[in-house]
Chain A
Amino acid sequence: MSNLNSKLSRRTVLRGLGVSLALPWLEATSSLARASTAAVSAAPSRMAFIFVPNGVVLDNWTPKTDGYGFKLPYIMEPLAPVHDDLLVISGLTHDKGRDNGDGPGDHARSASVFLTGAQPRKTDGENIRSGVSVDQVAAQKIGQRTRFSSLELGVDPGRNAGNCDSGYSCAYSSNISWSSESTPVGKEVNPRLVFERLFAAGTPSEVDKSVQQRQALQKSVLDFIADDAKRLQTKLGRNDNRKLDEYLTGIREIERRVGSDVAAKPLDVDVDYAIPDGIPGDYQDHMRMMCDMMVLAFQTDSTRIATMMFANAGDNKNYRKIGVPDGHHDISHHGGNPEKLKKITEINRFHVQQLSYLLQKMKSIKEGDRTLLDNSMICYGSGISDGNRHNNENLPVILAGGGNGTIETGRHIRFDTETPMCNLFMSMLERMDVDVPFVGDSTGYLSGLTV
């Protein structure tokens, strides 16, 4: 799809910030590319997934009419500025989020199944097992085209051990990205650390001075520790070797970054973003700053794949600032109580406001004739639909952005109940230039993303 990688691989170093920042997708690049090649070149496609916990109040979520011209329901009203960029999707199901004989633990399952479509093994011990998530499927196929194969973001810190929900490990509740069936990809919740990871290759003078020497030294360190790890493999048992595999995977990722052409090359460009101080005290500020990080990463083509958890599964924080002093999980068991439903609706709307912030920001960034949002697919939703019933059919899902001209937005579409959510993922992967036979419990592609 995108044959521009070689042209877009120029990177930049930011003087003043003292950090290197990848070169944003500039119009100049685009016209240059057009002038020099006959083919029409496209900006890269990006894809992100955003998870919200505890389901939504569907009555205030689902649009009343299908197709074009649907009226935004109360929860989605904050999305008015990006109304035409939305595809609201009803009817999708995550069957593997159901108990299927495993008993309670719907919240943990709702997060672990969200992007994997796999039934998690019910355990709070070390033998966790889920499936490879759609973002990681893509990262493993096309991640080498950017400096970072993917970016995993969140707001609440996670735990990977201990029991978080009726016998399910906390790893299931606090991660949505899985690089293998036994390896959750930890999310970063500190915007400063994300910023540093994305953009800290040292000061320009340092980079200029001795790039080659530094790379040679880094390479010898990597060789030394990879050697250590390989020697150890023969001396360890099965479980320990699984840990060591994660370590080796990490080394390979760094080797790729140090050794490949996509590493930073200096060039002067200013990007107007102050280095974050750390984790903001206010929840909304925090979510928005993490959204900013995602936008920066996409904008600079540091990665094309990202995930974000606005909160962990079953989260029970209160939303006092919007008049909801109760814990989110507690009131999600609303029992049909109108007052509780009103409060959950407000929480759902509050999360959608943050989505709107992200989408508007992406829409404001021009990429050639289009915008960053036009070139992206942002899949927003929850792994259960109603917090009271914990059901996994008819999930609340929004797909925002034009998928690089492959999705016709501004519509509400409805699928037969039991249509796998993973079929949507297949259609998204197809648009990311990723060809796999299936993901999770997919049975095919989702028709109807175009008219």
Chain B
Amino acid sequence: MEEVVEVARANASDFASRAFRRPLTTEESDRLFSLMRSAWEADASPNEIMQTTIAAVLASPHFIYRIEEDDDALFEDGIRALNDFELASRLSYFLWSSTPDKVLRDAAQTKQLHTPEQLAAQVDRMLADPKAEALVKNFVGQWLQLRDLERLSPDPKLFSTFDEPLRQSMRRETELLFKHIMAEYRSVLDLLNADYTFINERLAQHYGVENIAGDEFQRVELGGKRRGVLMHASILLLTSNPTRTSPVKRGKWVLDNLLAEPPPPPPPNVPELGEAGETLGTLRQRMEQHRADPNCAVCHTKMDALGFGLENFDAIGMWRDADGRETIDPSGELPGGRTFASPADLVQILAENKKEEFARCMTTKMLTYALGRGLGVSDRCTVSSIVDNLSNDEFRFVTLVKSIVTSPPFMFQESGR
């Protein structure tokens, strides 16, 4: 009997320590055991005792929340280095959206998981693991707003080719480009201007690419017309209205998500566009009104130029030369005077002249994701030094991740008291 009790006790503690992602204190282990004893005294069967214990562990705040203790005694000048177990959790939830595996637990147990070198070494292993797919799905899903694709429904009268397989393929294309950059140690700038992509038969039809058959995605080299995520059907769709493109939304999306230069909200009391009835003319001519009013022009000059540069792609991301009867003029001028003649041109300018801005934007988004909190003024230095690391190492993705996990806000905790 005593043996059975000891085994049950050890099993419960082991389960709880995996659920809590750290060893249990003696006091916790005792309380867990007294829970089991009270279940036994209530005449519960062995199965029911175990069920009760598991329910308690899985309902405990130590499992539900990722707890980093904010105990005064631990802090020096309001800051403390996280311990090995806390770092194992941070790493694991950042890269895998899941609880630490045995390797991480063992490393934490033997205190081999707190120097920058030790953390960086885990990154290589973890990014190569299939569980890193979670980073692709969750980070890209949030950063580039791919999750919102599920909710969109283009007008079927205008876009009769749009269907569910196409929607799914769109999302997958963007995920696969990201995954490739991650797995092949490529530059994050490929996201902006890769001249290759990953498509299946359904997406190939959509893009007008020949000789791609089946549901499997395969890498194809793109000739000229499309480059980078900005010309992925996914992004083009989610920056459109159900019945037409929205150059303003597209421009705003680029500023928000690629360049981290979000335009301020429109000023109050903006008069309606064409309140006296619709102004006639092309979408572009109507939108010119934005720029006629200096209050609007401040932001719209930038947003609209970016958006109109992508007008060759309709509201579901198909190439078009005309919108109705109007031939599309994809040329434009960016603030600073750089002119472009086509979407590919526009993206080329971004990739050449906005490298730092893009790297800063992506760093900001990924650091936010890794820390699970909004960034503050005090994080600016960290972001700048990560961007420096990136530009010194050809903007490689893995360098971004390693710079994040070895950065002060990742390795240290500030007191929230």
Contacts and interface: CB of A to CB of B under 8 A. Distances in A.
Interface of A: 99, 103-105, 125-126, 166-167, 213, 216-217, 220-221, 224-225, 227-229, 232, 235-240, 243-244, 247, 316-318, 320, 325-327, 330, 333, 335-337, 388
Contacts of A238: 416-417
Contact of A217 (B48, B60, B374): B48
B278 interface: yes
A235 B68 CA distance: 9
Contacts of A336: 275, 277
Contact of A224 (B31, B278, B373): B31
Interface stretch (B93-101, B215-223, B265-273): B265-273
B408 interface: no
A217 B52 contact: yes
B155 A318 contact: yes
Contact of B268 (A99, A240, A316, A327): A99
B3 interface: no
Given A105-B265, A126-B373, A225-B61, 10 more contacts: A104-B268, A126-B374, A217-B44, A221-B35, A235-B71, A325-B155, A325-B158, A325-B243, A335-B273, A336-B277
Contact of A320 (B39, B56, B153, B415): B153
Contact of B70 (A103, A213, A216, A235): A235
29 contacts: A99-B268, A104-B266, A126-B374, A213-B43, A217-B39, A217-B42, A217-B44, A220-B38, A220-B52, A224-B31, A225-B56, A228-B62, A235-B70, A235-B71, A236-B67, A237-B416, A238-B416, A239-B416, A243-B65, A244-B65, A317-B153, A325-B156, A325-B157, A325-B243, A326-B242, A327-B241, A330-B241, A330-B242, A335-B272
A236 B416 contact: yes
Contact of A236 (B48, B69, B153): B69
B64 interface: yes
Interface of B is mostly: loop
Interface string B13-54: 000000000000000000110010011001110001000100
A232 B56 CA distance: 16
B292 interface: no
A167 B71 CA distance: 33
B152 to A, nearest CB: 9
Interface size class of B (residues with CB under 8 A): 35 or more
B274 interface: yes
Contacts of A229: 61
B103 interface: no
3 closest pairs, A vs B, by CB? A237-B416, A166-B265, A325-B155
Interface in B122-167: 151, 153, 155-158
B242 A247 contact: no
Contacts of A221: 35, 52, 55-56, 59
A225 B60 contact: yes
B387 to A, nearest CB: 23
A240 B59 contact: no
Contacts of B52: 217, 220-221
Contacts of B267: 103
A125 B374 contact: yes
A318 B153 contact: yes
B297 to A, nearest CB: 18
B67 A325 contact: no
Contacts of A247: 61, 64-65
A335 B242 contact: no
A244 B268 CA distance: 38
B242 A327 contact: yes
A338 B69 CA distance: 60
B23 to A, nearest CB: 16
A232 B42 contact: no
Contact of B42 (A213, A236, A239, A316): A213
Nearest to B69: A235
A326 B278 CA distance: 17
Nearest to A251: B59
A388 B65 CA distance: 43
Contact of B155 (A232, A236, A320): A320
Nearest to A334: B272
Contacts of B65: 243-244, 247
Given A221-B52, A317-B153, A335-B275, A103 B268 contact: yes
B61 A232 contact: yes
Contacts of A235: 69-71
B59 A232 contact: no
Contacts of A213: 42-44
Contacts of B31: 224, 227
A155 to B, nearest CB: 12
A318 B153 CA distance: 7
Contacts of A327: 241-243
A242 B71 CA distance: 16
B272 A388 contact: yes
A224 B35 contact: yes
Contacts of B64: 247
Contacts of A125: 374
A333 B67 CA distance: 46
Given A104-B266, A228-B60, A318-B153, A326 B243 contact: yes
B129 to A, nearest CB: 27
A243 B62 CA distance: 13
A248 to B, nearest CB: 9
Contacts of B242: 316, 318, 325-327, 330
B376 to A, nearest CB: 9
Interface in B186-207: none
Contacts of A243: 65
Nearest to A238: B416
Nearest to B70: A237
B62 A220 contact: no
A333 B273 CA distance: 10
B48 to A, nearest CB: 7
A165 to B, nearest CB: 9
A220 B69 CA distance: 25
Contacts of B274: 335
A394 to B, nearest CB: 19
B245 to A, nearest CB: 12
A224 B273 contact: no
A39 B59 CA distance: 46
B43 A228 contact: no
